[in-house]
């Protein structure tokens, strides 16, 4: 019997381990990395808790060591997608009626398992699969994923506690039930924690999920599924499929039970998904929830009052950590003419001190970009700069894919505020800088606001409060996460709810109550204790 209003443990952010030389976590992670590297994984799809091997396999390789084989994943067809939908709907019969405290306990247990026995494996898998250094893996695959689980449990209880007023003689209640059908999670390569959260957030709220990870994240996706199983998530609540995107339109989006998509990835793909959903609208039982966090062209603008060293450090960390493959990574910077030379000299010195290579060597700050397609795209931008006389390299501008997909961290300075690389998302270690007239700050803000379709993250550096206020006001639509005297990356769950508007997505703020609200339907129940027995109101007398 569960007749009580339970309090959940207060969510706290998972402390980040240092991995400093001699630390026990470093030793454990290095041993796990070696163990995973020296073994191979045969990655099945997981449908209704069953491992599905089709024999049609695709090999998996670390981006920094393309000849090395991590294993194979089994590729499925439309038939497997339909099996996954059926398994999800079967699991829904029980899961949607599972008491919230049991759902909470499963995800709280997942958080504790990840903080302890799963930590090294999740981090090592992310290092190998997505080429993250130990620190980048730790803040993503361990800490952020733990934070998502813990904070979402707390937010769920806060949502359920939201109840309407009741006038005398009646009782009003609000129920929060899961969506009527299944949720489709489509996840990007760049954050293991985002992949887990796009499945876990709807599941926590009582939904069942079909999950298609990015092909370049399947290796670490399997560790997530292991974690969910170990935490006690029932079979069929989250179903992992490996299919080509081309089969999605004819399966998922044609199912009457499709009730929502939880997407993170590029803007073009999201637009295509939205169009597919729109084309099938009459098929569905309800209006599907469409939640998408998409691309960015994240900025830093420095005011003439800024501290040059602070700006340079913000640029270097904001643009190059994880090879610039964070959706929040700074990729365009506006520097005032009075400080530009000093800041660029500091940036160049820092960037040229980076070591680039495999994450296995802990002294490497920058690792490989995710795959050949991404490498070629960034290399094309570098070649484009070489053909132009309105831009020049401050540093970098070279690339080499003989061993892995390595791009030298690149800074380009342009005289054209609308230069292609000031406007388009590149998603790599590539930062473009435009120097504006230090006395025309507001003009620079206007240009910034208009030169990209995106509005994800951005930062202002200034020592002048009035300038900070002007930027905060004039850029209110330019970034969903706005930073004052800080780099535009590194949002922490529970502290800086994350997401952007314009072409950067639906701005439903991952890891926040706003996002969880998208995965419930509400029903208002009004109960009258002593109903009236005469239709006549007193004024009729």
Selecting among 144, 293, 310, 425, the annotated active-site residue is 293
In the complex with ligand NAD, the residue whose CB is nearer, 458 or 505, is 505
Contact positions vs ligand NAD (CB under 6 A):
186-191, 194, 212-215, 245, 248, 264-266, 269, 272-273, 293-296, 327, 425, 427, 456, 499-500, 504-505
Q: What is the CA radius of gyration of the chain?
A: 25
Find where tokens 């491992």 sit.
Answer: 51
The least CB distance from residue 413 to ligand NAD, in Å, is: 24
Secondary structure (3-state) at 417: coil
In the complex with ligand NAD, the residue whose CB is nearer, 294 or 451, is 294
- List the one residue out of 137, 191, 148, 131 whose CA is nearest residue 19: 137
The least CB distance from residue 464 to ligand NAD, in Å, is: 30
Which residues on adjacent β-strands are paired with residue 505?
Answer: 293
Residues with Cβ within 8 Å of residue 43, at least 6 apart in sequence: 60, 71, 72, 73, 74, 218, 219, 222, 242
The least CB distance from residue 390 to ligand NAD, in Å, is: 26
Provide the CA 302 distance to its chain's centre, in angstroms. Answer: 27
Residues with Cβ within 8 Å of residue 365, at least 6 apart in sequence: 133, 320, 321, 354, 355, 356
The least CB distance from residue 55 to ligand NAD, in Å, is: 21
Which residues on adjacent β-strands are paired with residue 406?
Answer: 400
In the complex with ligand NAD, the residue whose CB is nearer, 181 or 292, is 292
The two three-digit tokens of residue 104, written as one number? 């909470």
In the complex with ligand NAD, the residue whose CB is nearer, 245 or 477, is 245
Selecting among 327, 360, 395, 425, the annotated active-site residue is 327
In the complex with ligand NAD, the residue whose CB is nearer, 81 or 327, is 327
What's the CA gap between 46 and 93, in Å, rounded?
Answer: 19
In the complex with ligand NAD, the residue whose CB is nearer, 297 or 303, is 297
Task: Specify whether 327 is catalytic.
Answer: yes
The least CB distance from residue 472 to ligand NAD, in Å, is: 21
Which residues on adjacent β-strands are paired with residue 457?
Answer: 481
Long-range CB contacts for residues 100-104, cutoff 8 Å, separation at least 24: 100/156, 100/157, 100/160, 100/206, 101/2, 101/6, 103/156, 103/203, 103/204, 103/205, 103/206, 104/8, 104/153, 104/156, 104/157, 104/204
Question: What are the strands of the beta sheet with 57-60, ordered from one edge?
Answer: 41-43, 71-74, 57-60
In the complex with ligand NAD, the residue whose CB is nearer, 90 or 486, is 486
Neighbours of 448 (CB within 10 A): 26
The least CB distance from residue 257 to ligand NAD, in Å, is: 18
What's the CA gap between 291 and 517, in Å, rounded?
Answer: 11
Q: Which residue is nearest to ligand NAD (CB)?
A: 265
The least CB distance from residue 195 to ligand NAD, in Å, is: 9
Q: Which residues are catalytic?
A: 293, 327
């Amino acid at each position: 019997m569960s007749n009580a209003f339970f309090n959940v443990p207060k969510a706290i952010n998972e402390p980040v381990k240092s991995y400093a030389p001699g630390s026990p976590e470093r030793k454990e992670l290095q041993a796990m990395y070696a163990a995973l590297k020296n073994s191979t994984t045969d990655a099945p799809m997981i449908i209704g808790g069953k491992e599905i091997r089709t024999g049609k396999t695709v090999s998996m390789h670390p981006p920094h060591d393309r000849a090395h084989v991590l294993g194979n994943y089994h590729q499925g067809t439309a038939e497997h997608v339909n099996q996954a939908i059926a398994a999800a709907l079967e699991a829904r019969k029980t899961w949607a009626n599972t008491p919230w405290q049991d759902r909470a306990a499963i995800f709280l247990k997942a958080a504790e398992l990840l903080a302890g026995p799963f930590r090294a494996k999740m981090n090592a898998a992310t290092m190998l699969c997505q080429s993250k250094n130990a620190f980048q893996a730790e803040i993503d695959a361990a800490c952020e994923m733990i934070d998502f689980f813990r904070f979402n449990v707390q937010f769920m209880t806060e949502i359920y506690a939201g109840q309407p007023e009741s006038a005398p003689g009646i009782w009003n209640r609000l129920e929060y039930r899961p969506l009527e059908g299944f949720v489709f999670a489509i996840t990007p390569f760049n954050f293991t924690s985002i992949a887990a959260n796009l499945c876990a957030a709807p599941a926590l709220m009582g939904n069942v999920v079909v999950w298609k990870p990015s092909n370049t994240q399947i290796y670490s996706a399997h560790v997530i599924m292991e974690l969910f199983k170990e935490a006690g998530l029932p079979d069929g609540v989250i179903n992992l499929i490996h299919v080509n995107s081309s089969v999605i339109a004819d399966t998922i989006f044609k199912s009457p039970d499709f009730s929502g998509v939880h997407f993170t990835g590029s803007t073009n793909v999201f637009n295509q998904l939205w169009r597919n959903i729109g084309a099938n609208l009459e098929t569905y039982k309800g209006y599907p929830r469409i939640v998408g966090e998409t691309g960015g062209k994240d900025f830093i603008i420095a005011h003439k009052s800024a501290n040059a060293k602070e700006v340079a450090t913000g640029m270097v960390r904001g643009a190059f950590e994880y090879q610039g493959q964070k959706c929040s990574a700074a990729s365009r910077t506006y520097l005032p003419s009075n400080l530009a030379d000093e800041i660029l000299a500091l940036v160049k010195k820092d960037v040229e001190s980076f070591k680039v290579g495999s994450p296995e060597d802990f002294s490497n700050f920058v690792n490989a970009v995710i795959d050949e397609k991404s490498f070629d795209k960034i290399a094309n931008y570098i070649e484009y700069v070489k053909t132009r006389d309105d831009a020049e390299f401050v540093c970098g501008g070279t690339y080499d894919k003989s061993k892995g997909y390595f791009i030298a961290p690149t800074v380009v300075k342009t005289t054209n505020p609308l230069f292609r690389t000031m406007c388009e998302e590149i998603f790599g270690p590539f930062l473009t800088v435009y120097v504006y007239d230090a006395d025309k700050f507001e003009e620079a803000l206007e240009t910034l606001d208009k030169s990209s379709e995106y509005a994800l993250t951005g930062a202002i550096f200034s020592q002048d409060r009035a300038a900070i206020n002007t930027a905060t006001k004039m850029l209110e639509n330019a970034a969903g996460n706005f930073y004052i005297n800080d780099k535009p990356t590194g949002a922490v769950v529970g502290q800086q709810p994350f997401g952007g508007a314009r072409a950067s997505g639906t701005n439903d703020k991952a890891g926040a109550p706003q996002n969880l609200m998208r995965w419930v339907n509400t029903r208002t129940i009004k109960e009258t204790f002593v109903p009236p027995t005469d239709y006549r109101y007193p004024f009729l007398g």
